[in-house]
Chain A
Amino acid sequence: MTTVYVHGIGMTKFGSFEDKSLKDLLIEASIGALKDANLPKIDAVFVGNFMGGTLSNQEILGAIVANDLGLGYIPTAKLEGACASGGIALRQGVLSILSGEYENVLVVGAEKMKHASTATVTQFINTAMDQSTTEKEAGLTFPGFFGTVANRYMYETGAQKEHLAKVALKNRENAMNNPLAQFQKPTSIEEIVNARMVTDPLGLFDCSPITDGAAAVVLSSKPSNIKVRASSQSSGPTLMQDAIDLLSLPAVKISGERAYEKAGLGPEDIDVAEIHDCFSMTEILSIEELGFFPKLEGWKAVEAGETKVGGRIPVNTSGGLLSKGHPIGATGISQIYQLVRQLRGNAPNQLAKQPKIALAQNLGGTGAYSVVHILERV
């Protein structure tokens, strides 16, 4: 039975880079991962990207990476699954090694977004919703979906905007120690709660930002000290009006359950996690769906500090999408970057007790895709 190991990781700083193209970002992160892996012969490349075609007028990213790195005429592909594009590329890399086809694979994700206006980016991000529906024509946006979820969550649980703010504050405090994060300025609950509203009740700090950046991973069937224990994926509803339970993200729940089953582990075995906090509300829902906390009680765990560094299950020690930044195609791979550093013992916000088992969860669309990976230090 083949096992997949992580051999190298690389990541650009996340932020705004006027002078760097989408290609520059992909290459920079790839070089980091290749050097970290001691330059193995790469057999295939998988790229995670969402908006290269629309925002940078650039496709064929896989072939460009192979060509400009000089990897030879190896097979490549770009994977798209909205904000889960990176996680899906990673999973295809894992599966390609498990199939026996390749020994060493480069997976790299990137997004170049900052050069476009917010209205343009919002318009293109909306391609992650089903465009041929009355729901889209009603003007529901991607953040609007999570705003609608948040209002219902608060109505049913008694959670307040301050609880959402606590997620944003925790992730900002983590990002302050991460030199690669987009936002490192200190903030406060007051500033977060009183910030400009984006989609009621979610304000500016409750929403992940527009970001440039890239992250890369080298995977191999040859052993290293970081083993991929599980890779899993699920789909979910592509429309809000199709959700049977608005306060559930079935894709997260199912991808989590499948990953636990493959790994022979449960939520209680996870030492550290990177969870897709595209919105503060999403982190609360997903820590429930992944079994870390009971349904509709995630907000209480946040209030009790259980997801902070030093808490029962530290979530988003990188700063998360909210403060590390969210260059869409890079996000799922940058989660692995942070978790590998936690497992190696040299991460920003390194846990006092060096973790052994780490979980990454990457979401796409309005819960339309979810990918989970579990890593183990061996």
Chain B
Amino acid sequence: MMKVYECCGIESVTKKVYCSSCGKEITNEIDVPEEGTVYSYTVIQVPPAQFAHLAPYTVALIQLKNSKAKVTARILESVAIGDQVKLDSIVDGAYVFKKVGSSKVLHNS
């Protein structure tokens, strides 16, 4: 499961100290499944030196299932907006997701 932090209806995978809406300390932690849909993506062709060995690689913003929060992850395959993805592994501190269903399947089901 992945941790999502919530206050005043704002959900984030980033743990912040105080809620920017009410100013109180954020204490509500929710477990959400490590899966979701591709909200958007890019294919990075010009990488920083640290990731040169991976290029070109896909990075996506994933809308997590059962949550308003999104998470940024590297994706093993090429993807389109709406594709279903699931956590594959955590590599050197990065979430690496894999595609488990295409947006077309989602629309037809």
Residues of A within 8 A of B (CB): 118-120, 122-123, 125-126, 133-135, 137-141, 143-144, 147-152, 155, 196-202, 239-244, 246
Chain B residue with minimal CB distance to A139? Answer: B51
Q: Among the listed B14, B48, B94, which residue makes an inter-chain contact with A141, where contact means beta carbons less than 8 Å apart?
A: B48
- Are B12 and A139 interface neighbours, CB within 8 A? no
Residues of B within 8 A of A (CB): 10, 12-14, 39-52, 54, 57, 59-61, 69-74, 81, 92-96
- Are A144 and B59 interface neighbours, CB within 8 A? yes
Contacts A139-B54, A151-B41, A155-B81 given; does A122 touch B46 at CB 8 Å: yes
Identify the interface centre among A125, A138, A151, A239: most chain B CB within 10 Å of its CB. Answer: A138
A-B contact count (CB 8 A): 113
Give the distance in Å from the alpha carbon of A317 to the alpha carbon of B52 in the complex: 36
Contacts A122-B47, A143-B46, A197-B45 given; does A148 touch B71 at CB 8 Å: no
Contacts A126-B48, A152-B40, A246-B39 given; does A138 touch B59 at CB 8 Å: yes
- Are A141 and B47 interface neighbours, CB within 8 A? yes
Chain A residue with minimal CB distance to B90? Answer: A134
Q: Among the listed B10, B39, B57, which residue makes an inter-chain contact with A139, where contact means beta carbons less than 8 Å apart?
A: B57
- Are B49 and A138 interface neighbours, CB within 8 A? no
Taking CB atoms, residues of chain A closer than 8 Å to B43 are: 147, 197, 199-200
Chain A residue with minimal CB distance to B54? Answer: A139
Taking A133-B14, A139-B50, A241-B61 as known contacts, 16 extra A-B pairs with beta carbons closer than 8 A to each other, sorted by chain A number, are A120-B49, A122-B49, A137-B92, A138-B73, A138-B74, A140-B44, A141-B47, A148-B40, A148-B42, A149-B40, A197-B43, A198-B45, A199-B43, A240-B61, A240-B72, A241-B14
Contacts A119-B52, A134-B71, A241-B71 given; does A199 touch B44 at CB 8 Å: yes
